[in-house]
């Protein structure tokens, strides 16, 4: 079971942070150094029983751990030849970490004893907590409380454990230790860790720290992002997550970390999109999957779909520098695969480099006449190592080249080991990222190892090589992006609070156009409008507005007013009285018990020169307020052309939402139409962002339509749901 730890696979990478930090010092690992680099570890529940977890952990620690392992169990005097203590209190000297493997009924007590004995870091392997029903859930609650009382860094419960290769720490019950490397890996599934390690060990992929998050009763993904972001020995953070505990905190932590440490994540499983009934358009359009997509993107996380990409990206990010430009050179001895690679480049954000005249001149001098010297460079099938090496050297020297794919089919005149060596040397010499596609079976094995020593991944499939280079380029963009703080507008917060409080007074948590003033209080423009409670009032209101008006039924029970004929556009002054009665009659026919608050009489908004858009918010259980922008009106759900972001949004993010929808060209003015005032939309989104951030009581809200004209926007409809307990 014991395996020696081979040479560190860690590479120097150009994007790594400047650091004068000393590993192992608390500030550098976000206060978790005692967890990953302890000197003495207690195993509470250590035993020699065959097949037990208590034995596996003690054995794993004994095999590779550079520090001291201290078994704790009242039943034994020694375990696996180590002195065993009856309880944590009787262990002499300082302990940095306790691993808890006792049965669930006594696990919380064991943690409390750790707190009493001043052991700061605890890993609870024991299962039978929140994952098992209500008794387990209350036990987990207790566990969290004890951990908080003593300020413990607690991993788990229901965790496989933690690993850290610099000290050989393997406090898990998995069958294998990890190889050393610079990837730190967290996983919500312990089983996934054992599977990954088994595979990674064969692939020669190494890790710095590994943590099985378990039920995340205390420490969660955000804590590890913070810790590893500050850890000079972690070059890449990987995560396999089923959910994010606190989306907002996670975004903040990740945003800061991804400046100099890339984060790559698989997010699996679906979360319940919250218990609240979804009644808004935004609610149906912006589910929890959108929240993850938006949140992880805003956080700068490279989200991947599968495990292969997780490690493809991890390897290239830890092994290669980021490219200065996105222009790829392809160097090959095989035409067909060269075309495949070119296609893959076309599918990515990268582009095919166009060589300078000097490069072309040099290539034509060095290559045979039959070779193709334009990108992709085809050195043709009889290319030997010298020709291949020359071609790559010339390509990498070209200032128009940001990165390269070296692509080769096996031939009798080419030795893969030599090629691997040449590629590794040239990559190091030119400092540009390279991905290799030395195609073949068994014969590629030793070449692959050579490349890997140089931090260069090798793939069979050219598309994987291109996607990996693409990930490097995406990470460059992420690491360079500036985060601007969300704007704070001067708003009337008190008035907004009063309007929201009406929901409570009325005993209904839904508000409609009668809450239009809420938008006004936050500076989102609305047309003039009044709620009339009888036909006479409606006539008077219409007189104030002058000209034709729009009339709408006002009832919390009627969500989509026009569906029941509850909206009349272009009502002439003389028709207002009858229109009032007609609207109320229709509503009564539709739903006899509907509560009717009256009829809104609203100024007409010019729809001919404007575009109906929607701005809205739906509160996600993990990420909080999720803003939505799209084309609006009555076809919004059919069009499904929307962009989402987690609020609060910066101006840049709001503007990305507006420019990001498929129909954005429409807003820029198509077919002779005047362009819409996009700045006004962007500002309305920012103001809405501020509103929903200021009032967590707003569960969902949409403004549909927000009419975007050439000179500003008008919100003509609003609907929201309020959590009256939060008011
Ligand atoms: P609902 O969405 O409940 O059916 P709206 O208030 O959004 O009710 O009205 C439905 C449609 O009527 C809008 O999408 C818009 O096309 C039109 N409309 C509503 N108010 C106005 C207005 N003030 N000026 C012009 N058209 C309007
Ligand atoms: Mg509407």
What pLDDT, in 10s, does the model give residues 303-351? 998 889 999 999 999 999 999 999 999 999 998 899 999 999 999 999 9
Instruction: Give the ligand at the shortest distance from the Cα of 569.
Output: 1
Distance 509 CA to ligand 1 centre (A): 22
Distance 272 CA to ligand 2 centre (A): 27
Among residues 358, 349, 421, 430, the alpha carbon closest in space to that of 385 is found at 421
Place 622 in a pLDDT band, splitting at 50, 70 and 90.
confident
Instruction: Give the ligand at the shortest distance from the Cα of 583.
Output: 1
Pocket test for ligand 1, best of 569, 610, 611, 708 (most atoms within 8 A of CB): 569
Nearest protein CA to atom 17 of ligand 1, as residue: 569
Question: Reduced to 3 DSSP states, what percent helix, strand and coil does the chain have, rounded to the nearest 5?
Answer: 40, 20, 35
Burial class (CB in 10 A: 0-12, 13-18, 19+), 593: exposed
DSSP secondary structure string for all residues of 479-533? HH---PPPP-----HHHHHHHHHHHHHHT-SEE-GGGHHHHHHTT-----EEEES
Burial class (CB in 10 A: 0-12, 13-18, 19+), 228: buried
- For the segment 649-671, what is each residue's pLDDT rounded down to a tens digit? 999 999 999 999 999 999 999 77
Helices and strands in the chain, H and E counts: 24, 30
Q: Read off the tokens for 379.
A: 């050195």
Nearest protein CA to atom 25 of ligand 1, as residue: 605
The three-class DSSP label of residue 381 is coil
Atom of ligand 1 nearest to the CA of 566: 4
Q: How far apart are CA 727 and CA 717, in angstroms?
A: 23
Query: Is pLDDT above 70 for 284?
Result: no
Residue 492 φ/ψ, nearest 5 degrees: -105, 85
Contact between residue 171 and residue 123 where contact means Cβ atoms under 8 Å apart: yes
Highest mean pLDDT among 23-32, 64-73, 625-634: 64-73
DSSP 424: H
> Ligand 1: does its nearest atom lie under 6 Å from the Cβ of 705?
yes
- To 10 degrees, what angle do helices 576-590 and 535-545 make? 130
pLDDT at residue 279 in the model: 54
Among residues 621, 11, 676, 710, the alpha carbon closest in space to that of 295 is found at 621
> Ligand 1: does its nearest atom lie under 6 Å from the Cβ of 562?
yes
> Ligand 1: does its nearest atom lie under 6 Å from the Cβ of 565?
no
Atom of ligand 1 nearest to the CA of 563: 4
Q: Which residues surround ligand 2, an ion (CB under 5 A)?
A: 704, 717
Q: Where is 553: in which H helix or E strand?
A: strand 549-554
Q: How far apart are CA 469 and CA 471, in angstroms?
A: 5
Q: Read off the tokens for 636.
A: 């919004």
Contact between residue 207 and residue 184 where contact means Cβ atoms under 8 Å apart: yes
Residue 50 makes CB contacts below 8 A (sequence gap 6+) with: none
Half-sphere exposure of 640 (CA within 13 A, CB side): 6
Q: Read off the tokens for 602.
A: 């609203």
Among residues 423, 390, 425, 429, the alpha carbon closest in space to that of 404 is found at 423
> Ligand 1: does its nearest atom lie under 6 Å from the Cβ of 599?
no
Residue 155 makes CB contacts below 8 A (sequence gap 6+) with: 35, 122, 123, 124, 161, 162, 211, 212, 213, 214, 218, 219
pLDDT at residue 282 in the model: 61
Distance 716 CA to ligand 1 centre (A): 6
Nearest protein CA to atom 23 of ligand 1, as residue: 604
pLDDT at residue 57 in the model: 97
Mean pLDDT of the residues in the chain: 91
Atom of ligand 1 nearest to the CA of 605: 24
Query: Is pLDDT above 60 for 22?
Result: no
User: How are beta strands 719-722 and 529-532 bridged, if at all?
Assistant: unpaired
User: How are beta strands 97-100 and 161-164 bridged, if at all?
Assistant: unpaired
In the chain, pLDDT over 70 holds for what percent of residues?
93
- For the segment 684-726, what is each residue's pLDDT rounded down to a tens digit? 999 999 999 999 999 999 999 999 999 999 999 999 999 989 8
Contact between residue 510 and residue 724 where contact means Cβ atoms under 8 Å apart: no
- For the segment 172-214, what is each residue's pLDDT rounded down to a tens digit? 999 999 999 999 999 999 999 999 999 999 888 999 999 999 9
Pocket test for ligand 1, best of 512, 637, 717, 720 (most atoms within 8 A of CB): 717
DSSP secondary structure string for all residues of 125-179? ----SGGG-HHHHHHHHHHHHHHHHHT-EEE-SS--EEEEGGGTEEEE-SS-PPE
Place 606 in a pLDDT band, splitting at 50, 70 and 90.
very high
pLDDT at residue 286 in the model: 61
Distance 90 CA to ligand 1 centre (A): 75
> Ligand 1: does its nearest atom lie under 6 Å from the Cβ of 602?
yes
pLDDT at residue 353 in the model: 97
> Ligand 1: does its nearest atom lie under 6 Å from the Cβ of 554?
no
Place 283 in a pLDDT band, splitting at 50, 70 and 90.
low
Mean pLDDT, residues 584-590 taken together: 94
Q: Read off the tokens for 563.
A: 């569906």
Query: Is pLDDT above 90 for 31?
Result: no
Q: Read off the tokens for 333.
A: 């001895």
> Ligand 1: does its nearest atom lie under 6 Å from the Cβ of 545?
no
> Ligand 1: does its nearest atom lie under 6 Å from the Cβ of 518?
no
Contact between residue 205 and residue 179 where contact means Cβ atoms under 8 Å apart: yes
Contact between residue 65 and residue 2 where contact means Cβ atoms under 8 Å apart: no
Nearest protein CA to atom 19 of ligand 1, as residue: 716
Angle at alpha carbon of residue 210, lines to 154 and 288, rounded to 5°: 75
> Ligand 1: does its nearest atom lie under 6 Å from the Cβ of 550?
yes
Burial class (CB in 10 A: 0-12, 13-18, 19+), 393: middle
> Ligand 1: does its nearest atom lie under 6 Å from the Cβ of 560?
yes
Instruction: Determine which of 132-136, 498-502, 551-555, 614-618 has the lowest per-residue pLDDT on average.
Output: 132-136
Cα dihedral 318, 319, 325, 330, rounded to 10, equals: -140
> Ligand 1: does its nearest atom lie under 6 Å from the Cβ of 636?
no
The three-class DSSP label of residue 462 is helix
Place 274 in a pLDDT band, splitting at 50, 70 and 90.
very low
pLDDT at residue 690 in the model: 98
pLDDT at residue 320 in the model: 97
pLDDT at residue 223 in the model: 97
Cα→Cα distances 537→103, 217, 534, 552, 577, Å: 72, 58, 5, 14, 9
Cα distance between the two ends of the chain: 58
Residue with tokens 């299962």: 127
The three-class DSSP label of residue 236 is strand
Q: How far apart are CA 387 and CA 393, in angstroms?
A: 10
């Amino acid at each position: 079971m014991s395996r020696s730890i081979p040479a560190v696979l860690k590479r120097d990478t150009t994007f790594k942070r400047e650091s004068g930090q000393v590993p192992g010092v608390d500030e550098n690992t976000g206060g978790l150094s005692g967890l990953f680099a302890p000197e003495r570890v207690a195993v509470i529940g250590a035993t020699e029983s065959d097949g037990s977890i208590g034995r596996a952990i003690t054995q794993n620690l004994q095999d590779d751990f550079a520090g001291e392992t201290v078994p704790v169990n009242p039943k034994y005097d020694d375990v696996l030849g180590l002195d065993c203590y009856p309880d944590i209190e009787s262990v002499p000297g300082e302990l940095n970490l306790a691993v808890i493997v006792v049965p669930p009924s006594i696990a919380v007590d064991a943690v409390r004893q750790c707190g009493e004995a001043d052991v700061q870091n605890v890993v609870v392997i024991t299962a039978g907590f929140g994952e098992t029903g209500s008794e387990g859930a209350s036990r987990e609650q207790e566990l969290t409380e004890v951990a908080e009382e003593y300020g413990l860094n607690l991993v788990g419960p229901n965790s496989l454990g933690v690993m850290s290769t610099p000290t050989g720490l393997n406090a898990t019950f998995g069958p294998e230790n990890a190889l050393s490397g610079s990837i730190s890996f967290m996983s919500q599934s312990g089983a996934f860790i054992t599977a990954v390690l088994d595979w990674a060990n064969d692939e020669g992929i190494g890790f710095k720290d590994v943590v099985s998050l378990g039920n995340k009763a205390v420490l969660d993904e955000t804590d590890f992002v913070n810790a590893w972001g500050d850890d000079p020995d972690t070059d890449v953070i990987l995560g396999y997550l089923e959910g994010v505990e606190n989306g907002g905190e996670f975004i903040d932590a990740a945003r800061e970390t991804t400046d100099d440490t890339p984060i790559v994540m698989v997010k699996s499983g679906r979360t319940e999109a919250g218990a609240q009934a979804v009644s808004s358009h935004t609610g149906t359009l912006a589910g929890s999957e959108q929240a993850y997509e938006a949140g992880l993107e805003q956080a700068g996380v490279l989200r991947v779909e599968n495990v292969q990409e997780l490690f493809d990206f991890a390897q290239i990010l830890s092994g290669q520098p980021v490219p200065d430009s996105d222009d790829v050179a392809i160097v090959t001895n095989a035409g067909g695969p060269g075309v495949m690679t070119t296609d893959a480049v076309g599918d990515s954000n990268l582009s095919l480099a166009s060589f300078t005249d000097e490069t072309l001149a040099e290539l034509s001098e060095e290559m045979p006449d039959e070779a193709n010297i334009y990108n992709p460079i085809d050195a043709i099938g009889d290319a030997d190592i010298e020709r291949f090496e020359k071609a790559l050297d010339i390509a990498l020297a070209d200032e128009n080249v940001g990165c390269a794919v070296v692509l080769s089919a096996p031939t009798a005149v080419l030795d893969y080991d030599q090629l691997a060596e040449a590629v590794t040397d040239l990559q190091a010499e030119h400092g540009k990222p390279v991905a290799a596609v030395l195609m073949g079976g068994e014969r590629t094995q030793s070449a692959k190892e050579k490349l890997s020593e140089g931090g260069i991944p090798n793939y069979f499939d050219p598309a994987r090589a291109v996607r990996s280079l693409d990930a490097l380029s995406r990470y460059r963009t992420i690491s360079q992006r500036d985060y601007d703080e969300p704007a704070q507008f001067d708003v009337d917060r008190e008035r907004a609070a009063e309007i929201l409080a009406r929901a409570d007074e009325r005993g209904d948590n839904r508000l409609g156009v009668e809450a239009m003033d809420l938008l006004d209080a936050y500076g989102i423009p609305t047309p003039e409008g009044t709620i009339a409670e009888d036909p006479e009032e409606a006539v008077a209101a219409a007189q104030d507005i002058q000209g034709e008006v729009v009339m709408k039924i006002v009832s919390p029970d009627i969500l989509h007013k026009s569906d029941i004929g509850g909206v009349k556009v272009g009502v002439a002054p003389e028709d207002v009285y009858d229109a009032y009665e007609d609207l109320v009659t229709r509503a009564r026919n539709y739903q006899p018990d509907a509560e009717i608050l009256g009829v809104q009489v609203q100024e007409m908004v010019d729809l001919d020169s404007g575009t109906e858009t929607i701005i809205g918010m739906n509160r996600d259980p993990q990420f909080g307020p999720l803003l939505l922008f799209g084309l609006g009106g009555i076809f919004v759900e059919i069009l499904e052309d929307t962009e989402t972001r987690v609020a609060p949004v910066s101006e840049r993010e709001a503007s990305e939402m507006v420019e990001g929808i498929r129909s954005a060209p429409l807003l820029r003015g198509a077919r002779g139409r005047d362009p819409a005032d996009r700045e006004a939309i962007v500002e309305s989104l920012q103001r809405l962002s501020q509103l929903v951030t200021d009032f967590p009581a707003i569960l969902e809200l949409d403004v549909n339509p927000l009419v975007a004209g050439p000179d500003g926007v008008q919100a003509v409809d609003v609907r929201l749901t309020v959590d009256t307990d939060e008011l």
